[in-house]
Amino acid sequence: MKASRVPRPVRAEFVKSAQSINDSVDESLSEVVFLGRSNVGKSSTINLLAGRKNLAKSSATPGKTRLINFFDVGYKLDDKDYTVRFVDLPGFGYAKVSKSMKDIWQKNLVEFIKNRVAIRLFIHLRDARHPHAKIDEDVARYIGEFLRPDQRYLTVFTKADKLNQKERAALLRDYPGAILISNLKKTGQERIQQAIFETIFGEKFQ
């Protein structure tokens, strides 16, 4: 693969935090939604993809981040400029909050992901060490039920550096089309960037 065919992040900025679809930003840009369990490495993945170390911040308390965060990320590919909007959803699971608060979060998130027209790509981050976690399987199945023809769902396994070669091969057999990444070793992010460009801008990569 030629280096010139790898999207390069050149700018990134925080736009807004919202509690629900009702107070979200406008839908002027195509959106990439990141979702996953708490502590799966969502913030680190977003920061690496955007080329900004502290763009997305993780909460010290797992599951405590309850806002929908929007970031505008600019890329350059073949000397052309592109802009996409990253949407960081609250991590699910492990939240140390009341059941009523969890119910409110769930209602707001369901409304957002089902009714937000600008969403083009769902990136579901899953821990490679626990690939068959029930909550992840449930989320994948749920999104598949309402995925629109113009939307794509992508499974990304984080912490792939914790697996040996045989385990990685088995994981890809179980989940064809999935991407394995390591934020620690900064590997695999280019494939996600290419998937974003393929889905939103129709770019093709060899």
Q: What is the pTM of this model?
A: 0.91
The DSSP line for 7-48 is -EEEEEEEEEEESSGGGPPPS-S-EEEEEEBTTSSHHHHHHH
Q: Give the number of domains in the chain.
A: 1
Establish if 206 belongs to a structural domain. Answer: no
Helix (H, G, I), strand (E, B) or coil at 77: strand
Establish if 195 belongs to a structural domain. Answer: yes
Give the per-residue pLDDT at 58. Answer: 73
Establish if 26 belongs to a structural domain. Answer: yes
What is the C-alpha separation between 196 and 32, in angstroms, rounded?
A: 8
* CATH number of the domain that residue 77 is part of: 3.40.50.300
Establish if 105 belongs to a structural domain. Answer: yes
Residues 6-44 have pLDDT tens digits of 899 999 999 999 999 999 999 999 999 999 998 899 999
Name the residue range of residue 129's domain.
3-201
What is the C-alpha separation between 19 and 16, in angstroms, rounded?
A: 10
Residues 88-135 have pLDDT tens digits of 998 876 555 556 556 766 788 889 999 999 999 999 999 999 999 998
Establish if 177 belongs to a structural domain. Answer: yes
Q: What's the Cα-to-Cα distance from 198 to each of 18, 69, 94, 104, 188, rounded to whole Å?
A: 28, 23, 34, 34, 16
